Amino acid sequence: MSLRGTKRATGMRGDEAGVSKRRRTEPEDALWQLRPVSDLKMSSIYNRSASEAPAELFRKDLISAMKLPDNEPLTQSSYWVITDTWKQDWERGVQVPVNPDSLPAPKVKIIDNPQPPDFQEFKLPKDKYIHLSRDDHYHSDKHILSQTPARAEAACSYDLDAADTAWLKLLNAERARAGAPPVTEDQLEKVIEELE
């Protein structure tokens, strides 16, 4: 009885050698290369149940590039051991934008910001520490008492937004037609702060 051409229990044919054959597509010692986002298959990264394409995706190849194989010969000083508890989170991948060209460009608008009439330039006192209150640790020869807590208490914590300023313009237009003085932004902020 010949076993030639039949499969053995080992999973190999009778005429094949006992060496496993593996197809290599790249040299084993080739360096890892970062693939551009355009090389990724869009069907594999999008959530198929979502109605539109996501703005970000998680790429695991960036994390794989940072990992070292267990048999890598390294000295203790040439690598860092990551022992943080967030390792489970970063194993998921690095969040990168799907289409970086679609990100909005940052814009800067220079505004005219005149200094208020009561503005005083801050100068650090020589040979004294700034202290906020007169407590057991305060010594007048070593400390200077700061007025910052009093100013912070007097400052309004509410800031007007675009909707508030638009409403204030309409209100002041009506008050001007009626002959009443306009309401300032500071007055409106203080009123809203008290109402809150």
Bridging pattern class, strands 143-145 and 56-59: unpaired
Detail the DSSP E strand segments found in 28-80: 56-59
Quote the pTM value.
0.32
Average pLDDT, the chain: 73
Residue 74 lies in a domain: no
173 and 196 share one domain = yes
pLDDT at position 133: 84
163 and 151 share one domain = no
116 and 186 Cβ atoms separated by less than 8 Å: no
∠ Cα 41 47 50 (to 5°)? 130
Which pLDDT band, with edges at 50, 70 and 90, does 171 fall under?
very high
89-105: per-residue pLDDT in tens?
Answer: 656 666 777 777 877 88
Domain that holds residue 180: 156-196
Is pLDDT above 70 for 35?
no
139-165: per-residue pLDDT in tens?
Answer: 888 888 888 888 888 888 888 999 999
Residue 9 lies in a domain: no
